[in-house]
């Protein structure tokens, strides 16, 4: 039995990476068109990895604004027959069911959103939750981990493509700006940053907290 549990890494919070593709920048008025989520797990060595990614094409809500410039940028046709889109509430219900199942499985109390420029994704997620009148939200309503900030610290890069390049993660600009692709790359980046910090001694796991110096130990010793 592993002594490494993801519930112990982030104070009982489970990181779930979210990316949205939208028809504009205003979460209250502009359509949510794609939603993807990657669930993060921890292996027996205390390393994070991407366990599963789910994706949803979403039908614009009634009265939603569709900015032409945003649609041109993403290349999404909101009304294309082959999108197999579902409404916001069904997408959120399906995603939340999987997240709740994972929370129960790993003993976490709540999910925490991980995103690249996380405030944008969190704003659209919360606006959709409010529109759909969903009362049981498994995510913390305002806390998040922002990989733009983390990558700026770790690699000196804040753009997702450049941060992935600095981390040695393959990135295709031609596949970017789909929710699934960007979610998976953001998840890989998040795992790489957290795992690299652990290898530097930045997080003392149960089995090595007495054998490997932590960053606090190093700073205290003046090394």
Contacts of residue 207, Cβ cutoff 8 Å, sequence gap at least 6 = 3, 4
Measured between alpha carbons, how far is 119 from 123 in angstroms, rounded to an integer?
6
Examine residue 189 and state whether it is found in any structural domain, yes or no: no
Examine residue 15 and state whether it is found in any structural domain, yes or no: yes
Examine residue 194 and state whether it is found in any structural domain, yes or no: no
Examine residue 114 and state whether it is found in any structural domain, yes or no: yes
Going by the annotation, the residues of the binding site for Mg(2+) are 19, 21, 177, 182
The catalytic residue among 4, 116, 177, 210 is 177
194, 43 Cβ separation under 8 angstroms: no
Going by the annotation, the residues of the binding site are 19, 21, 177, 182
Examine residue 192 and state whether it is found in any structural domain, yes or no: no
H or E element, residue 100: helix 88-106
Examine residue 11 and state whether it is found in any structural domain, yes or no: yes
Domain CATH number, residue 42: 3.30.420.10
Examine residue 156 and state whether it is found in any structural domain, yes or no: no
pLDDT in tens, the chain (223 residues): 355 799 999 999 999 999 999 999 999 999 999 999 999 999 999 999 999 999 999 999 999 999 999 999 999 999 999 999 999 999 999 999 999 999 999 999 999 999 999 999 999 999 999 999 999 999 999 999 999 999 999 999 999 999 999 999 999 998 998 999 999 999 999 999 999 999 998 876 644 444 455 555 544 555 4
Domain that holds residue 85: 6-144
Measured between alpha carbons, how far is 82 from 88 in angstroms, rounded to an integer?
17
Examine residue 63 and state whether it is found in any structural domain, yes or no: yes
Q: Is 51 a catalytic site residue?
A: no
Count how many domains the chain has: 1
């Amino acid at each position: 039995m592993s002594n490494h549990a993801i519930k112990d890494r982030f104070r009982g919070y489970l990181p779930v990476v979210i990316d949205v593709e939208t028809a504009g920048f205003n979460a209250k008025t502009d359509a949510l068109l794609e939603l993807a989520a990657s669930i993060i797990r921890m292996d027996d060595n205390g390393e994070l990895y991407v366990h599963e990614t789910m994706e949803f094409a979403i039908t614009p809500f009634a009265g939603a604004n569709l900015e032409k410039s945003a649609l041109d940028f993403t290349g999404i046709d909101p009304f294309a027959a082959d999108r197999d889109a579902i409404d916001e509430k069904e997408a959120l219900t399906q995603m939340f069911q999987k997240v709740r199942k994972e929370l129960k499985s790993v003993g976490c109390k709540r999910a925490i959103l991980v995103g690249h420029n996380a405030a944008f994704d969190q704003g659209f997620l919360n606006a959709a939750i409010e529109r759909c009148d969903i009362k049981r939200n498994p995510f913390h309503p305002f806390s998040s981990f922002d990989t733009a900030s983390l990558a700026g610290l770790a690699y000196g890069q804040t753009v997702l493509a450049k941060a992935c390049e600095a981390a040695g993660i393959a990135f295709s600009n031609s596949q970017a700006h789909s929710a699934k692709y960007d979610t998976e790359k953001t998840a890989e980046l998040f795992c790489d940053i957290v795992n690299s910090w652990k290898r530097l001694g930045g997080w003392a796991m149960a089995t090595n907290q007495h054998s490997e110096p932590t960053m606090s130990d190093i700073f205290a010793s003046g090394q």
